[in-house]
C-alpha cells in the first residue's frame, strides 16, 4: 500500500472541530487519511513527501451538479434566431448539442472537463449526462474519463420523452447495477431525470418503479424556469413538488436542481422528505432566470448545495456568485456570505456523503484522501474567523498547485503528470468543429 506525507502546510481541516493547524502535516496510506496534526516528519516511513511550503492545505472540493457533456459548447452560437427565453435556449442550443455527440465526443467532453476540475481543486463531481444519439453505454464513456484522470464521480442519464419515450431508463438501471457490482468506491450512480416539462406520466411511473426498486436516488431539474412550473400546472393541475410526490421521487438520496421558483410550501416538502437541493447561480444568471430563495431554503431546513451546471468546473467562483447574487436580490450587504461558503464546504460534503460510501470533505482520520494545495500563502491572519474571506477573495483567484485524489497525486505544479494534456486539447480542438457542423 502506497503512502504519502504532506508537510509544512497551513491546514484548514474542516473537521468536526474546524481546526486550523499551522505547520501541519497530513499522513495518507492508500486511499485514506491516517493522521492529521503537528507531528515530526519522521513519525512515519513514507513513499513520498510533499512540502507544502507554508501554503494552505484543505480538502478537495465537491461539485454537486455538473453537465460534462456541455464542454464543446464554448464559443458556439446556434444557427437561427437568438433564443429569447429559456425554452428556446433548451431547444435551439442544448438539445441540439447533446444530440450531435457521438460516443467518443462524450468521452472527450468529459475528459477535458474533468481535467479542468482537477486543476481547479475539485475531486468529486456529481454529473447529469445526456447524449440522445448514443445513450446506450454513454455513462461508461463518462466513467472512462473519470478513471483516466483519477477523480471520483457520480453519474446518471437524463431521462426524458423529448426524443423517444423513456429514453435512457435502461442506461440508468444498467449503470446503477454496474457500480454496485464494481464496489470500488470511485464511481457511484443515481437515476437521472430531465424535468417535468419533458416527462410524461408513463415515463415517470417507469422511472419511479425502477429507481425505487434499486434504492437509487433521483437527480432531476425542478422549478428552474416558469416553463417547467406552468407546463406542470397546465397538464396536471399540480405544483412541481406535488407532482414528484405523486410518484415517490423525493427522498434523502434525491437531488432536485435549481429550485428557482419553489414556493414556501414546496420548501417544506423538500425538508419533510429530507430531499436535497442544488442551486447553480452562474447558470441561472446566464439564462436570465430568477434568483433562487436560498436563504429561505436554509431557514426551512433544506440541505442546499451548489454546482456549476456545465458553466465551468470552478467551484469557489460558484459560491462567490451565490453570495453576490443573494445580496443583490435582497439589496442587503449583510447576508449570504457565510451561508454561501458553508453551502460549498459543508453542505456539498453532506450531499456527497449520502451518495458515496467513503466519507470525504475533511482532513481527518478515516476520510478519503482527497486533498488540495493551492498556491496560496496567506498574508493576513487565517483562522476560523477569517477563512471565508480568504476563500472568496483570495482562493477564488488562485491556482491549485497540487491535487490529490484517492491518495494519488493527479495534479502537480498545476499540471496532470500522467496525462498528455497538450495532445488531448489538440484532439478536442479537432473534434469541436465537426460537432458544430452536425448542429442545424
C-alpha cell at 423: 495532445
CB atoms within 10 A of CB 385: 9
| Domain residue ranges in the chain | 3-60+359-412, 63-355
Q: Which residues pair with 104 in a beta bridge?
A: none
With contact defined as beta carbons under 8 Å apart, do 261 and 221 qualify?
no
pTM for the predicted model, two decimal places = 0.97
pLDDT 10s digits, 373-421: 999 988 999 999 999 999 999 999 999 999 999 999 999 999 999 999 9
Q: Which helix (H) or strand (E) holds 294?
A: helix 294-299
**CB of 308 within 8 A of CB of 66?**
yes
CB atoms within 10 A of CB 136: 14
DSSP single-letter state for residue 314: -
pLDDT, mean of residues 193-200: 97
Q: Mean of the per-residue pLDDT values for the chain?
A: 96
At 381 the pLDDT is 93
Q: How high is the pLDDT of residue 83?
A: 87
Phi, psi of 408 (to 5 degrees): -115, 135
Give the span between the Cα atoms of 7 and 24, in whole angstroms.
6
Q: CATH class for domain 3-60+359-412?
A: mainly beta
Could you give the CA distance from residue 136 to residue 149 in angstroms, rounded to a whole number? 23
Residue 34 CA, distance from chain mean position = 26
Q: How far apart are CA 14 and CA 211, in angstroms?
A: 33
Residues 6 or more apart whose Cβ sits within 8 Å of residue 285: 321, 325
Q: pLDDT digits over 149-172, tens only?
A: 999 999 999 999 999 999 999 999
Report percent pLDDT > 70 for the chain. 100
Q: What is the pLDDT of residue 183?
A: 85
Cβ pair 439, 96 in contact under 8 A: yes
- Amino acid 284: pLDDT: 96
Per-residue DSSP letter, 160 = B
With CA atoms as reference, report the closest residue to 383 among 5, 17, 18, 1: 18
- Comparing CA positions, the residue from 53, 30, 26 lying closest to residue 41 is 26
Q: What pLDDT is attached to residue 286? A: 94
| pLDDT band, very low/low/confident/very high, at 130 (cuts 50, 70, 90) | very high
CA distance 237 to 25: 58
b/e sequence 318-329, b meaning 16+ C-beta within 10 Å:
bbbbbbbbbbeb
Which whole-number Å values give the CA distances from 403 to 6, 82, 123, 254, in the listed order?
12, 40, 8, 29
Give the C-alpha separation, 122 to 152, whole Å: 9
The percentage of the chain sitting over the pLDDT mark of 90, rounded to a whole number, equals 94
User: Which cell goes with 92?
Assistant: 435551439
Reported confidence tier of residue 356, pLDDT bands at 50, 70, 90: very high
79 confidence band (pLDDT: 50, 70, 90): confident
pLDDT at 440 (0 to 100)? 77
Q: What angle, 0 to 180 degrees and rounded to 10, lies between the N-to-C axes of helices 138-149 and 169-182?
A: 40
Pairing of strands 303-306, 276-279: parallel
* Domains 3-60+359-412 and 63-355 agree in fold: no
Q: What is the CB neighbour count within 10 angstroms for residue 20?
A: 18
- Say whether pLDDT at 309 is over 80: yes
- The Cα 2–Cα 77 span in angstroms is 48
Beta-carbon contacts of 321 under 8 Å, excluding residues fewer than 6 positions away, are: 281, 282, 285
What CATH fold (topology level) applies to the domain 63-355?
TIM Barrel (3.20.20)
Amino acid at each position: 500500500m502506497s503512502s504519502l506525507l504532506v508537510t509544512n502546510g497551513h491546514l484548514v481541516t474542516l473537521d468536526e472541530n474546524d481546526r486550523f493547524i499551522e505547520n501541519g502535516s497530513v499522513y495518507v496510506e492508500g486511499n485514506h487519511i491516517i493522521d492529521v496534526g503537528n507531528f515530526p516528519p519522521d513519525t512515519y516511513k513514507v513513499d513520498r513527501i510533499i512540502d507544502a511550503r507554508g501554503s494552505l492545505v484543505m480538502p478537495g472540493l465537491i461539485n454537486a451538479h455538473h453537465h460534462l457533456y456541455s464542454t464543446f459548447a464554448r464559443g458556439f452560437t446556434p444557427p437561427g434566431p437568438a433564443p429569447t427565453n429559456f425554452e428556446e435556449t433548451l431547444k435551439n442550443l442544448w438539445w441540439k448539442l447533446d444530440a450531435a455527440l457521438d460516443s467518443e465526443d462524450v468521452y472527450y467532453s468529459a475528459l477535458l472537463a474533468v481535467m479542468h476540475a482537477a486543476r481547479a481543486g475539485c475531486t468529486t463531481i456529481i454529473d447529469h449526462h445526456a447524449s440522445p444519439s448514443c445513450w446506450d453505454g454513454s455513462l461508461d464513456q463518462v466513467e472512462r474519463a473519470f478513471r483516466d484522470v483519477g477523480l471520483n464521480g457520480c453519474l446518471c442519464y437524463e431521462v426524458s420523452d423529448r426524443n423517444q419515450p423513456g429514453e435512457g431508463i435502461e442506461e440508468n438501471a444498467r449503470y446503477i447495477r454496474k457500480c454496485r457490482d464494481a464496489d470500488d468506491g470511485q464511481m457511484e450512480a443515481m437515476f437521472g431525470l430531465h424535468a417535468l416539462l419533458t416527462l410524461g406520466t408513463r415515463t415517470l411511473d417507469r422511472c419511479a418503479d425502477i429507481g425505487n426498486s434499486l434504492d437509487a436516488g433521483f437527480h432531476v431539474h425542478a422549478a428552474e424556469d416558469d416553463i417547467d412550473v406552468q407546463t406542470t400546472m397546465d397538464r396536471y393541475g399540480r405544483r412541481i413538488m406535488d407532482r414528484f410526490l405523486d410518484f415517490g421521487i423525493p427522498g434523502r438520496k434525491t437531488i432536485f436542481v435549481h429550485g428557482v421558483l419553489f414556493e414556501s410550501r414546496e420548501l417544506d416538502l423538500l425538508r419533510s422528505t429530507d430531499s436535497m437541493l442544488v442551486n447553480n447561480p452562474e447558470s441561472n444568471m446566464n439564462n436570465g432566470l430568477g434568483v433562487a430563495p436560498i436563504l429561505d431554503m436554509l431557514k426551512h431546513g433544506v440541505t442546499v448545495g451548489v454546482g456549476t451546471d456545465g458553466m465551468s468546473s470552478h467551484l469557489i467562483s460558484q459560491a462567490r456568485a451565490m453570495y453576490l447574487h443573494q445580496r443583490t436580490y435582497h439589496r442587503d450587504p449583510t447576508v449570504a456570505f457565510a451561508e454561501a461558503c458553508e453551502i460549498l464546504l459543508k453542505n456539498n460534503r453532506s450531499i456527497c456523503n449520502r451518495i458515496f460510501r467513503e466519507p470525504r470533505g475533511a482532513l481527518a482520520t478515516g476520510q478519503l484522501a482527497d486533498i488540495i494545495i493551492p498556491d496560496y500563502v496567506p498574508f493576513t491572519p487565517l483562522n476560523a474567523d477569517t477563512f471565508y474571506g480568504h476563500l472568496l477573495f483570495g482562493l477564488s483567484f488562485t491556482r491549485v498547485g497540487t491535487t490529490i485524489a484517492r491518495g494519488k497525486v493527479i495534479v502537480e505544479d498545476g499540471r496532470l503528470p500522467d496525462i498528455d494534456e497538450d495532445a488531448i486539447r489538440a484532439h478536442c480542438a479537432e473534434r469541436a468543429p465537426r460537432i458544430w457542423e452536425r448542429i442545424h
